[in-house]
């Protein structure tokens, strides 16, 4: 697939250059390279275990690559001293899978947490900012509720308000649509797009949800077996003849990702034939 100019901007916010990563002896990423332009919403798609979430961990400095470089805002993340890494992380927002709200804190306190932790703002200003963030996701009226009192979609919106609490330059989403009903899924998708554009931020979505993602993102990378196997704009992805993309987008059970786990011929198992 021809590479769009969008994929390699003059100064990307995130630049992953020939990165290899392994857990012990199990290689997860194999010489992977991709760029995330400033101000865009980019999706990283692929099957379970292909390395999508590992990419987010590399970008945020939770793990270091075995080879290659991960740059965010021009800084090599894995070369930063701890205090510099923490300063960079304060410019990032993260929406974890299923929200991961603090269960013993109210909705208000969940969103206020980062403001209290990382700023010296007076409580009166924190109150106004928290209500502003909650209003942006439609939940100002739920400020006093506890996470146990929220529906799944509401909890995800609170988590989104928390992720953008400090107006980050980079927002990362780990499966933001997982487990949501169609209405909540649509709401979260539109909020991701609207908040990114309103904040002038850059967003990275790790997701399996093809239909919703292609409606809101600017560019897509497909990962399979630790490598980028396809990339393009939503229109390019929909029109792609790449076998893996067609299988993934169409939800086909068999293709480059096989339905059957490798095994000997079925008739041999039925007949009880033993191999030497």
Confidence of residue 255 (pLDDT cuts 50, 70, 90): low
The pLDDT, as a whole number, for residue 94 is 87
3-state secondary structure of 19: strand
Helix axes 123-136, 107-118, angle to 10 degrees: 130
The pLDDT, as a whole number, for residue 112 is 93
Strand 75-76: give its sheet, edge to edge: 26-36, 14-23, 67-72, 75-76
Instruction: List pLDDT tens digits, range 178-227.
Output: 778 888 888 888 889 988 998 889 999 998 888 888 889 999 998 888 88
| CATH homologous superfamily, domain 5-91+168-271 | P-loop containing nucleotide triphosphate hydrolases (3.40.50.300)
The pLDDT, as a whole number, for residue 129 is 93
Confidence of residue 111 (pLDDT cuts 50, 70, 90): very high
C-alpha span between 172 and 56 (Å, rounded): 7
Q: E strands within the chain?
A: 14-23, 26-36, 41-45, 67-72, 75-76, 92-95, 170-174, 202-206, 219-224, 227-232
Q: Got the DSSP string for 95-163?
A: EBTTB---TTS-HHHHHHHHHHHH----HHHHHHHHHHHHHHTT-GGGTT--GGGS-HHHHHHHHHHHH
The pLDDT, as a whole number, for residue 1 is 40
Gyration radius of the chain's alpha carbons: 21
Instruction: List pLDDT tens digits, range 131-167.
Output: 999 998 889 999 999 999 998 888 988 999 998 888 8
**For the chain, percent of residues with pLDDT exceeding 90:** 36
Q: Are 100 and 123 contacting, i.e. CB atoms less than 8 angstroms apart?
A: no
pLDDT at 9 over 50: no
The pLDDT, as a whole number, for residue 184 is 84
- Nearest residue to 92 (alpha-carbon basis) of 109, 70, 66: 70
Ranges for all domains in the chain classified under CATH 3.40.50.300? 5-91+168-271
Confidence of residue 98 (pLDDT cuts 50, 70, 90): low
**For the chain, percent of residues with pLDDT exceeding 70:** 88
Looking at residue 240, the DSSP 8-state letter turns out to be -
The pLDDT, as a whole number, for residue 151 is 87
pLDDT at 176 over 80: yes
Average pLDDT of the chain? 84
Helix axes 107-118, 152-163, angle to 10 degrees: 20
The pLDDT, as a whole number, for residue 259 is 62
Confidence of residue 260 (pLDDT cuts 50, 70, 90): low
């Amino acid at each position: 697939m021809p590479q769009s100019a969008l994929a390699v901007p003059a100064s990307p916010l995130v630049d992953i250059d020939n990165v290899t990563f392994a857990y012990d002896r199990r290689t997860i990423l194999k010489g992977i390279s991709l760029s995330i332009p400033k101000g865009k919403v980019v999706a990283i798609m692929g099957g379970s275990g292909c390395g999508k979430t590992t990419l987010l961990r590399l970008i945020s400095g939770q793990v270091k690559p075995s080879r290659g470089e991960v740059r965010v805002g021009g800084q090599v993340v894995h070369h930063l001293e701890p205090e510099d890494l923490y300063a960079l992380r304060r410019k990032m927002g993260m929406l974890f899978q299923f929200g991961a709200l603090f269960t013993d804190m109210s909705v208000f306190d969940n969103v206020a947490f980062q403001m209290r932790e990382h700023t010296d703002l007076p409580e009166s200003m924190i109150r106004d900012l928290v209500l502003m963030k909650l209003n942006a996701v439609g939940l100002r009226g739920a400020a006093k509720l506890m996470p146990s009192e929220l529906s799944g979609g509401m909890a995800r919106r609170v988590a989104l308000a928390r992720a953008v609490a400090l107006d980050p330059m980079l927002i990362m989403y780990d499966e933001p649509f997982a487990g949501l009903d169609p209405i909540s899924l649509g709401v979260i998708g539109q909020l991701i797009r609207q908040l990114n554009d309103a904040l002038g931020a850059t967003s990275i979505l790790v997701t399996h949800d093809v239909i919703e993602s292609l409606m809101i993102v600017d560019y897509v990378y497909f990962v399979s077996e630790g490598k980028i196997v396809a990339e393009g704009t939503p229109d390019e992805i929909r029109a792609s003849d790449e076998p893996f993309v067609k299988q993934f987008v169409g939800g086909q059970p068999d293709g480059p990702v096989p339905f059957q786990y490798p095994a000997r011929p079925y008739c041999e198992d039925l007949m009880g034939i033993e191999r030497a």
